[in-house]
Amino acid sequence: MENKILVTLVIVIAAANFGMARSGQYDEDARQQEKIQKQMEKETETPEKRHPAKNFATGIKEVTYDNVKDTLSDTTGSTMREKPVVGTLDGAQQAGSKVVDNTIKGVKKVASLGYAKDDSYEIEQPEEKSGEAAKIKLFKF
């Protein structure tokens, strides 16, 4: 009789432990699923949709501050490596492409309030001696 009670007690305790272990597993699975879901929500939620004014300010900064910073750093760096006049001219020439790039990207951010997905743009050069200006295409439709 005692053996039956002891065996029954062991089976009940084992079943209870197994049930608790499985409920713990379900909690861990649920937590892992919640983490994955939150991560997916963060990835799908773009910062541009939350802060258009901040994106506008970033575009203005790119047009103004970044242009000055790049121009000064390229010019001074080149002047330190080469003779003053040659270095200044070479540095200014190198900075020119960065200034154009920063200006175009900044204007694109300002115009779209940062909603534009990419920073790409195209520059169409006019035919020689046509008297037309280069055309910059910011958005591809």
User: What proportion of the chain, given as a percentage, has pLDDT over 90?
Assistant: 0
What pLDDT shows up at residue 53? 76
The CA–CA distances, whole Å, from 56 to 1, 97, 99, 101 equal 83, 23, 18, 17
**pLDDT of residue 37 exceeding 70:** yes
Q: Does residue 137 sit in helix, strand or coil?
A: strand
User: What proportion of the chain, given as a percentage, has pLDDT over 70?
Assistant: 85
Nearest CA to 68 out of 35, 92, 88 is that of 92
pLDDT in tens, 79-126: 788 887 887 888 888 778 788 888 888 888 888 877 777 777 788 888
Q: Which amino acid is at 70?
A: D
